[in-house]
Copies of this chain bind each other. A is one copy, B any other.
Amino acid sequence: MELKLKHYEKIEATDVEMEGAENVKVRWLISEEDAPNFAMRMFEFEPKGHTPLHTHNYEHEIFILEGEGVLTYEKKEYEFKKGDFIFIPPNKEHQITNTKDKLRLLCFIPLKQ
């Protein structure tokens, strides 16, 4: 493993390919090529962009860098904004929707599941 120190803009943003995702891009800042335990991804949502409503067996740890949005979690809606952090437990249905201008967040996931 090596030191990695870069500006996030040096990492390419690609469309999120999950079915049901719209106007969301992801940058894999720290991935399994770099790190042993968890990955750091940056997501950027255009206005009205969203992830699909989905479930998986691992958690999310999220920090909101810019913008505002709504988390749909187990059929309830929770507003969030810049400076908020979110822990989403494993196996809970969730969706993130941008409700304003640009939304930018960090989302961490474990690499060993």
CB-nearest residue of chain B to A11? B85
Q: When the two chains form their complex, are residues B59 and A35 in contact, meaning their CB atoms are under 8 A apart?
A: yes
Number of chain copies forming the complex: 2
Choose one: B40, B78, B80; the contact of A85 (CB below 8 Å).
Answer: B40
Interchain CA distance A6-B5 in the complex, whole Å: 28
Residue A12 at the chain B interface, CB threshold 8 Å: no
- Residues of A at the B interface (CB closer than 8 Å) are 1-9, 29-30, 34-38, 40, 59, 61, 63, 65, 71, 73-74, 78, 80-81, 83-90, 92, 106, 108, 110
With contacts A29-B63, A35-B59 known, what are 19 further pairs, Cβ within 8 A? Answer: A1-B59, A1-B89, A1-B90, A3-B92, A4-B85, A5-B71, A7-B81, A8-B84, A9-B83, A30-B61, A30-B85, A35-B87, A37-B38, A37-B110, A38-B61, A38-B110, A40-B63, A40-B85, A63-B63
